[in-house]
Structure formats: C-alpha cells, structure tokens
Structure 1
C-alpha cells in the first residue's frame, strides 16, 4: 500500500510538471491541452483551473456510463491542474529552438513515465481515460477508434478557440502510446491475493 500511495503521489506531481514543460516548449501541445488553451484564451481563467474544471465535467459524464472512480481518479482530477501551475512557476519559456525541443522531449518522456506511475498504482484511471474505457464498454467500439474520435473532437475545438497546434501535437499523438506501453508494465504494482478484492484500481 505504501508503494501504491507513493507511486500515485509522485505520478500526479510529475504528470502536472510534464504538461507544463510541454506547454512552455511552444511547439504544439497534446489535444486535450489544445482544448484547455483555447478555453483559457476565450475565458481568461488559469490553465490549471480549466484543467480541474474539465476533469470534473468528465467525471460527471462517467455517471451514465456507470464508471466507478477510484481514489486516484479523484486526486487526478483535483491535483494535476495545480501541479501544472506549479510547473509554470518553475519553468520559464525557453527562447532558443533547441531549448524548446529539449523541454518538449523531456516533458513527453516524463508524461509517459508519470502515466505509468499513477496508473500502475492501481487507484483508478484518470478522468479522460475513464471516459474512453466507459464509452468502449457501452458502445462496443474499439478503444483506438473511441480515443481517436475524442481527441480529434477536442483538438478541433481547441484549435478553433486558439489553442497551440503544432508538430509537438503530432509527436505527442504518435509517441505517447508507445511510451506508456513501455513504462506501465514495469511500474505496475503487483496485486497480492489478499488485496486483489479490495483494490480500487
């Protein structure tokens, strides 16, 4: 249990910091963050605040899908936004192209690692992942088709609202899956026979 709690906590901190690095790189951000940037541009609230608002709205959508959130799901929804804002306070926007590439690359790898940490802790998926798996279960459509559809919609909306779409957006879309696939099995906390029935993940 101690390892699970530590993994969840460290994973959420690093996940927020990874997003802030990617945004500071200004070479294009992940689809959900394009959408968040668009909302920030239109309504003016901080990026972290909109991250929390979007996550809570997604959890509401879990209700008709009969998805059950775990402790990690709720903490993800509430804490990733503040940790992104913490990253903004730590990392200044780089001026040179090579620095932007380094920021983006470190952020991308860190994002995959952090995802492996918090999902591997088995306290429940993040709000966006849970929406995807819930729609998959209800509709019977393939996971890849549902994820692609969701991210295409939020990317289009974010772009129309003025979010930052660039080569980084494409790079993230292509590389985050393999990175999570690499890290997740290596970071997953094994289930013990006694705790398997009680796990929230």
Structure 2
C-alpha cells in the first residue's frame, strides 16, 4: 500500500476507534477521563449531545493554539471533527443501563481500545491532537515542564466538569494512571516511518481525550 494512503487509512481508523472507545468508557459509568468529565457536565447543563460537545470543546481548545503559536496538522483538524461523531455512533450502538458485570468489563475494553486507537492516529503522523498541542504550547511559552502544564490544565478541567455534573469515579483515576503507559506501548507499534524522520516523543501519551498523545511536532 502506498505510504500516504496507509497513513490516511490509519488516521481515519484510529479516530473512529477512538470515538468508539470513548463511548465504551462512558457507558461503563464508573468515571471518565478529565476532558470527558467536562464534556459530560456541559452536556447535562446544555442538553447537547456528548459527541457534539466533544467537537465544540476540541474546537475551542484548537483556538487556544493561536496565542500559543502552535501549528495544527490535518490530523489535528480531523481529530476535532471526527472523534465526536464517532463517539455518538458508539453511544448509539451501546445500550444504557447494562448489568454491572458488563459495565466492569467495558471499561478495560474501552481503555485498551483507546490506547490502540491513539497508537494508530498518532502513528500516522499527521499532527497531534488539539489537547496535546495545548500542552506543548504551554510548555514552549512558559518553560514549565510538560507534566506541570498537563496536570494544571486537567485539574481545572476535571473540577469544572465535576461541578457541572460530569461522572468522576474510580474510572477517572484508572484512566489517569493507565492510559499513559498503554499509549507509550502502542504508539511505536503503529508509527509510520517518514523520509525525514524525528525521534519519538511520548511525553504526552494519554492526555486526552479526545484524550491524546504526541509523537511529532503538531506541524507534521
């Protein structure tokens, strides 16, 4: 398969699976990632769908790239546009009010699928997700370590989402602890080699959600 075609297919498949993974985690009902807590809270307060608000939040985050002088790639834009509809598709396919044992199994399934999806779309190397670019921009403009910017932003986002009624639970903690190591494992699996290659940078793996990871500069 032509390298560009493979990258495009991998990007689109990764974004589709990312949205389905979010839906699995939401339907598990044991807590979601910080950015999804915010999306859930906004959904409860506005009546808008989870997927539509995922797009809106991603677009707002992308606008914050402007003062931070970050450059989005085509993957960044498609991330904003496609993950939300994919999540809505998953929420439509997966029923609510499932038995407890089913929901317990759905959470790790969603988490592993999300890690695979992250490896796919980041490995295609069409640019970082909107939230990753925000973290990178804060790091570059402030000089703070990436983990400081990431932690600060996600604490604010989590608190706001919780106040609005988003689902904070044991799944939120498990997501925060496990998604980074899982994405660090999957990103190298699917990384496509480019003619002008750059070292892998997985320092932002698992930020999220769409929660997301960074391999290359957002401009790639």
TM range (shorter): over 0.9
Alignment of 1:99-114 (within 5 A): 99-114=102-117
2:184 alignment partner in structure 1 = 181
User: What's the C-alpha RMSD, in Å, of the aligned pairs?
Assistant: 1.4
Alignment of 1:76-87 (within 5 A): 76-87=79-90
The separation in 2 between residues aligned to 1:23 and 1:86, in whole angstroms, is 13
1:67 alignment partner in structure 2 = 70
Summarize deviations over 1:103-145 as a string: whole Å, max 9, x none. Answer: 1111001111111111111100111111011111111111111
Alignment of 1:140-159 (within 5 A): 140-159=143-162
1:133 corresponds to 2:136: yes
TM-score for both structures, normalised by structure 2: 0.87
The separation in 1 between residues aligned to 2:161 and 2:196, in whole angstroms, is 45
Where in structure 1 are there 5+ consecutive unaligned residues? none
The separation in 2 between residues aligned to 1:66 and 1:51, in whole angstroms, is 23
Where in structure 2 are there 5+ consecutive unaligned residues? 198-217
More helix as a share of residues? 1
Q: Would you say how many aligned residue pairs link Structure 1 and Structure 2?
A: 197
The separation in 1 between residues aligned to 2:219 and 2:68, in whole angstroms, is 18
1:22 alignment partner in structure 2 = 25
Residues 25, 94 of structure 1: 8 Å contact kept? no
1:50 corresponds to 2:53: yes
TM-score for both structures, normalised by structure 1: 0.95
1:13 alignment partner in structure 2 = 16
The 1:193–1:149 alpha-carbon spacing in structure 2 relative to 1, beyond 3 Å, is closer
The separation in 2 between residues aligned to 1:117 and 1:51, in whole angstroms, is 20
Residues 41, 161 of structure 2: 8 Å contact kept? yes
Residues 119, 184 of structure 1: 8 Å contact kept? yes
Relative contact order, CA 8 A, sep 6+: which one is greater?
Answer: 1
Match 1:88 to one of 87, 91, 95:
91
Deviation at 1:93, TM superposition (A): 2.5
